[in-house]
Amino acid sequence: MRSAPTILHLDMDAFYASVEQASKPSLRGKAVVVGGLGPRGVVATASYEARVFGVHSAMPMAQARRLAPHAACLVPRFAFYRSLSEQVMGLLKALSPLVEPLSLDEAFVDLEAAGAAWDEPSARRVGARLRADIREVTGLTGSVGLAASKMLAKIASERAKPDGLVVIEPGTERALLGPLSVRTLPGVGPATGDHLRRAGIHTVQELAEAGEDELVRLLGKAHGHALYAMALAHDDRPVVAEREAKSVSVEDTYDVDIHDRVRVGTEVRRLADRCVRRLRGAGLSGRTIVLKVRRYDFSTLTRSETLRGPTDDPAVVREAAARLLDSVDTTGGVRLLGVGVTGLADYTQEDLFAQAAGEREEPSPEEPDATPVPEDRPPPERRWPAGHDVWHTEFGHGWVQGSGLGRVTVRFETPGSPPGRVRTFRTDDPGLRPADPLPLVRGGDAGDDGAQPAADGTG
C-alpha cells in the first residue's frame, strides 16, 4: 500500500445521457434514457433525473418506459461517445503514462508514475484541475476518487458522484470500509454476496472478523485469500497501461447445481446480456461467441460459434449462446456457466446504427434473386433513429425526436442555442439528411461545425 493517495479513479457522470443532455438544450434537467428502443432493448445509461424514477442501466427499455413515461428515450450515438471519450483519455494520459481504461467513461491513473502527485495536497490539486479541464474541453462532468489503492480510489469516486471529488487518506481505510456492505468489494457479486450473507457476514468488518481460514473454507483458497486482504484494505494491484483486449466474458458459479434445463437457458441468456454490456462499455464488437459449462462432476466444456461479422447485438449473442447450449448435455447438473465474445473489433458506424435500431442485417444470398423488381416499386423508407443528428436545408441542424407512420419529428437546436422548435416532415423529405454531431463546446473537435450534412449520411 502507498503512503499517499496517488491512484486516481475517474468516472464520468451518466456519460451517454449527459452527452445527450449537453447536445440538446431542451433535455437539460429532464429525464433521459439511452439504449435500444426495439422490443428487447436494454437501457445503456439513464440520466440522474431518470434514476429518481427507478430507471437504471441493464433494465429492459419497456420497463424503463413504464417507470418514467415522460422520459426522452434515445438511440445511442456510440461514435460520438467514443470521440468524447478519446478527449477525456487524452487529458488523463497528459497526467501519467500509466492510464488503465475500464470503459469509455472510466479509468484509473497512477499519478506517481510521472511525478504528477506525491502527497495528499498535490493529489487533490491534480484531481480538481482534471475535473475543470474535462468540463472545459468536453462540457461534461466527471467524478474523481483518490486513494492509495485501486479498490479505494473506485470507492471514493462512487462516493463523489455526481460531479465531485473525494480523497481517502492513508490510515483511514479500515474505518471507512468497516460498515460498508461486502458487495462493495471487487469480486463480490450477487452469488458470493448471498453465500456470505447465509454465513452471517454482511459488512466488510464482519468479513475481516471472520478470519482468513473461514473465508478460504467458504469461498475457496484464491477467492478467500483475496477477499480477506481487501477487507483489511490491502490492495496492491498496479495500474496497468492500456492494452488490447483479446476477449470479453462473464461467468457465474452457482452454490447449488442447476438441473432445470429451462433455468440453465435463462441463466445463459442473462449472461449473454451482461457480456454484451461489457462489450459495449469497452466500445468493442466481436465475431466469435463462446459458451462455457462446468458440470456437476467438474468437467468443463466450451463451445464456440463464429459469425459472419462482428456484433454487439444482445439478441445475436443470446441466440448464438442458446444454439451452443443445445449441443451440451446438462442433465447431471451445472455448477458454472459463462458466455464470452472473442475476435474483437472496433465498432463500425453501419453496425451501430443497425444494432441500435434493433435490426440485424440478413446474410446476403449466395445466388442473386432472379425475381424481377418492378421499376415503379417505391424505394425503402429511410430510417431516423431517435436522438440522432439531422440537417434540413431550410431549418438547419436538429435531432430526431421520433418517427413512424411515414413521418419524422425533428427539434431544431444546437448545443449552444436555446431550446428549439419542433417540426414534422415526411420520412422521404428531400430537404432532410442525416448529419454529424456538433461539438459540445465551441471550438471542440468532436463532430464538425454543423454547417453541412454528413458526407456519407451516417452521422
Residues tagged in the binding site annotation for Mg(2+): 11, 105
Give CA–CA dist 250/133, Å, rounded.
35
Alpha carbons 355 and 347: distance in angstroms, whole number: 11
- Give the DSSP H/E element, type plus range, for residue 245: none
Of the candidates 190, 107, 188, which has an alpha carbon nearest to the alpha carbon of residue 142?
A: 107
How many Cβ atoms sit within 10 Å of the Cβ of residue 187? 12
Cα–Cα distance, 402 to 315 (Å, whole number) = 23
Q: What is the Cα–Cα distance from 386 to 285, expressed in whole angstroms?
A: 22
Would you put residue 311 in left (φ > 0), alpha (ψ -120 to 50) or beta? beta
Distance CA 399, CA 413 (A): 8
Whole-angstrom distance, CA of residue 416 vs CA of residue 404: 29
- All residues at 6 or more sequence positions from 226 whose CB lies less than 8 Å from its CB, including other chains: 187
> 42 near 31, Cβ under 8 Å?
no
Show contacts of 393-397: CB within 8 Å, 24+ apart: 393/431, 394/431, 395/423, 396/450, 397/435, 397/438, 397/450
State the Cα–Cα distance between residues 234 and 26, nearest whole angstrom: 47
| Of residues 85, 83, 58, 55, the one with CA closest to residue 70 | 55
Residues in the chain: 459
Question: Closest Cα partner for 312 from 338, 289, 284, 292?
Answer: 284
367 included as an active-site residue: no
Phi, psi for residue 355 in degrees, rounded to 5:
-70, -40
Spatial distance between the Cα atoms of 114 and 97, rounded to a whole number of angstroms: 7
Q: Are strands 72-74 and 32-35 parallel, antiparallel or unpaired?
A: parallel
> Which residue is associated with the grid cell 473525494?
166
Task: Spot the catalytic one: 49, 106, 173, 413.
Answer: 106
402: cell is 421520433
The catalytic residue positions are 106
